[in-house]
Structure 1
Amino acid sequence: MAHLQIALNGDSTHPAMPRTPDEIARDAAECVAAGATLLHLHAFDDDGRESLEPVHVGRMLTAVRASCPGIPLNVTTFAEIEPDPRRRLELVSGWTELPDLISANQGEDGIDDLSALLVSRGVAIEACVLSVADAERFVAIGGWDRFERLVIEAMDPDPETALGLIADMEAVVARAGVGLEQLEHGLGAGTWAVVERAARLGKGIRVGLEDVGTLPDGSVAASNAELAVAAKRLVPAE
């Protein structure tokens, strides 16, 4: 099954991006109704800042699980939210409401310890590579069967450059014989070029207001659900 993941929120200024637990839960339900099969989430504190604090992550997960029963929920562990690896590990170790998965950026300090902690608590891991160097590190470490899937991310908004980055990262993991399910996404204007190609190749795709605020025709998206509808059209029918 080629998944459609929606990244509802994060480092974005789009006015429709949800921040509170109730906003995220409503938005998530609309995305699932539009065809999303996975949800990628960031929690925010009461001042609207991204947070890994257990209380904020827990409130968000509780709200979204109530609105989207049975949908796997993925929570970010992005180092930019908490740059100190020891403090990040401390915060995540305090989570009492656990996500189904986390996104683990392979180039970040401390990510292996963080992933091992969560695996020990039954949380699955998406291994995320954002550069050729990340992909090379990932294949060198091995033990790929401990991951749920591999997420290949082209973080350059230029469509042509993004496609080149995706192809280069794919080549690294293909040469190594990595057999994990793959999901791909881009950033800004590069998003739709990346996901259109990935969908043609039968890979999972991700869109959402964390990544892109426009539709394939360049018009401004009104919501995450509108992005989900556009992306769903790209996913081959089962």
Structure 2
Amino acid sequence: MTEPLVRRIQVCLNGGRSAADHPAVPITPAQLAVSSQDAVAAGADAIHLHPRRADGQESLAYADISAAVHAVRSACPGTPIGVTTGLWITDGDAAARLRLIRGWIDADPDGLPDYASVNLSEPGFDDLTDILHSAGVAVEAGVWSLADADRLGRSRHAQDVLRILVEVIDFPADTCEAEADAILDRLRAYALRPPVLLHGENSSAWPLIGRAGRLGLATRIGLEDALAGPDGDPVRDNADLVRVALAQLSR
């Protein structure tokens, strides 16, 4: 597998969005491959995606994971690929999520992602991280709040996650930076070694890209996080968002 680093910007291709949200949201493995290739050409150095079943619904089943990963890895050799493990995919059933991801351990590693995001706000962070590590998949720790920062600080995996995703997604543009700073301060209190990637979603997406740039942190952008540019201007696709974000970071 590829060394799963993010040097500057990760592209988040689709999340739970559909073409009803934006016509360029990629769903199928072929669409994910094309969108990834364009975003990497635009400057993204890592990829985050939500694999889908044939009916377009998000999936944690190995067959669906591997189909997406194989397609994207073929299109973007050498670029690290990550997936979600969101509990909503199994309708809140943590045991079902563990069963599905435990199935990755004996699967062909060529179909596995380089890393997976695991949210501290969802139950079973440590157990799920154990399973992912057993499968050879690194873990991004998703921290959405001060409480999540404390959960990570107390976790047995606090120092061995790949990186910490500080995700400020439920705050308006005028308060999201203060919330991000509070979470970052709390994480620093635990003297955690893993690097931080800071990002927002919707109204907080662009302010936090700017904040990440000023703090020298990695960040992310894509149609999962934003459907328009910083001034509300339409964007064509994920690659367009990456180009705009890199221009913001260069200011």
Structure 2: gaps of 5 or more residues: 1-5
Pair 1:94 & 2:99 matched: no
| Letter aligned with residue 150 of structure 1 | I
| Letter aligned with residue 16 of structure 1 | A
Q: Which residue of 1 aligns with 2:89?
A: 81
User: What does residue range 29-178 of structure 1 map to in structure 2 within 5 Å?
Assistant: 29-82=37-90, 83-95=92-104, 96=107, 97-141=111-155, 143-178=157-192
* Cα shift readout 1:124-183 (whole Å, capped 9, x = no counterpart): 111110111101111122543311111100012511221122111011011221232110
Shift of 1:195: 1.0
Structure 1 143/20 Cα, relative in aligned 2: closer, same or farther at 3 Å?
A: closer
Shift of 1:236: 5.0
Structure 1 165/142 Cα, relative in aligned 2: closer, same or farther at 3 Å?
A: farther
Provide the rounded CA distance (Å) in 1 between the counterparts of 2:117 and 2:250.
25
Shift of 1:111: 2.3
| Letter aligned with residue 9 of structure 1 | N
| Letter aligned with residue 121 of structure 1 | A
Q: What SS class does the counterpart of residue 48 from structure 1 fall into? A: coil
Deviates more, 1:139-148 or 1:84-93: 139-148
Deviates more, 1:217-226 or 1:138-147: 138-147
Q: Which residue of 1 aligns with 2:237?
A: 223
Structure 1: gaps of 5 or more residues: none
Pair 1:10 & 2:19 matched: no
Q: TM-score, normalised by structure 2?
A: 0.90
Shift of 1:112: 1.6
| Letter aligned with residue 197 of structure 1 | R
Provide the rounded CA distance (Å) in 1 between the counterparts of 2:120 and 2:243.
30
Q: Is the 8 A contact 1:202 1:236 kept in 2?
A: no
Provide the rounded CA distance (Å) in 2 between the counterparts of 1:85 and 1:123.
19
Q: Which residue of 2 aligns with 1:212?
A: 226
Q: Is the 8 A contact 1:2 1:202 kept in 2?
A: no
| Letter aligned with residue 105 of structure 1 | N
